[in-house]
Amino acid sequence: MTVDLYCFAQSGNAYKVANYLNVAGVPWTEHFVDFFNGEARSPEFREINPMGEVPVLVDGDLTLTQSGVILDYLIDKTGIYATQKGDEREVLRWILWDNHKGSSQFGVTRFMINLLPEKMRNDDVNSFLLGRSKAALQVLNTHLEGRNWMVGNAPTAADFSCSSYLFFDEPFGMDRSKLPHIEAWLKNIRQLPNWKHPYDLMQGHPLPRT
Ligand SMILES: N[C@@H](CCC(=O)N[C@@H](CS)C(=O)NCC(=O)O)C(=O)O
């Protein structure tokens, strides 16, 4: 099995899938999407994903978008890091939380305060976003107290989904010294076989202007 992944280095959403493929040992071919020059919104890319987003996974005739759907597909197909029977809804619950309150906040906050050109940044907007990110991090930290993994006793799609943005070093409201349960969990994920940082796994870092 070899799959194609459309992605770029700064995308935590793409990293959810790239990280899974890498630690699960699934061969994949990288297709770099030049997000910062507008490629994700180009008519050509919208033929691949009308939503104009990465990640996109292509497996033969099948094209899938949305990281949660892609993880579900890959785990179903490979059986690696499969959800224990009975835990399916709990995994889904955290993926939905992550897409709404976790990664969506971390990703936008990190983009607005680090990656957006400085003259376009807005302090009021950023302080609102930082508040949303910090609140989500608290929820995650509390959930992870006394747990090695998000759901059950082994990694699942919920771990790949909820952790992805937290491996980036650019600020987005994460005071690591105050989030010990998150830090311990990220260490567990870093110890999965062959784990790599997003910037070592996907192309596009550093940005030409930084
Ligand atoms: N819920 C989606 C989010 C995907 C997403 O927002 N991707 C970003 C990159 S991290 C993107 O491609 N955005 C394109 C744009 O906003 O123009 C998922 O989990 O796949």
Ligand 1 centroid, distance to 114 Cα (angstroms) = 17
Cβ count near 26 (within 10 Å) = 18
Predicted local distance difference test score (pLDDT) of residue 84: 98
CA 146 / ligand 1 centre spacing (Å): 32
In this prediction, residue 105 carries a pLDDT of 97
Q: What is the pTM of this model?
A: 0.98
Could you tell me the two tokens for 63?
Answer: 């094209």
- DSSP letter string, 56-74: EEEETTEEEESHHHHHHHH
Domains and CATH numbers, the chain: 3-82+195-201 (3.40.30.10), 88-190 (1.20.1050.10)
Q: What is the pLDDT of residue 15?
A: 98
- Cβ of residue 107 lying under 6 Å from some atom of ligand 1: yes
> What is the whole-number distance in angstroms between the Cα of residue 60 and the centre of ligand 1?
23
Give yes or no for residue 42 CB within 6 A of ligand 1: no
pLDDT of residue 208: 84
Q: What is the pLDDT of residue 1?
A: 87
Q: If you take atom 9 of ligand 1, which residue's CA is the nearest one? A: 11
Q: What is the pLDDT of residues 66-111, one digit of tens each?
A: 999 999 999 999 999 999 999 999 999 999 999 999 999 999 999 9
**pLDDT for 12:** 98
Cβ(55) – ligand 1 distance below 6 Å: yes
Residues in the chain predicted with pLDDT less than 50, given as ranges, are 210
> Ligand 1 pocket test: which of 7, 13, 103, 205 has the largest number of ligand atoms within 8 Å of its C-beta?
13
- Ligand 1 centroid vs 109 CA: distance in angstroms? 13
Residue type, 67: S
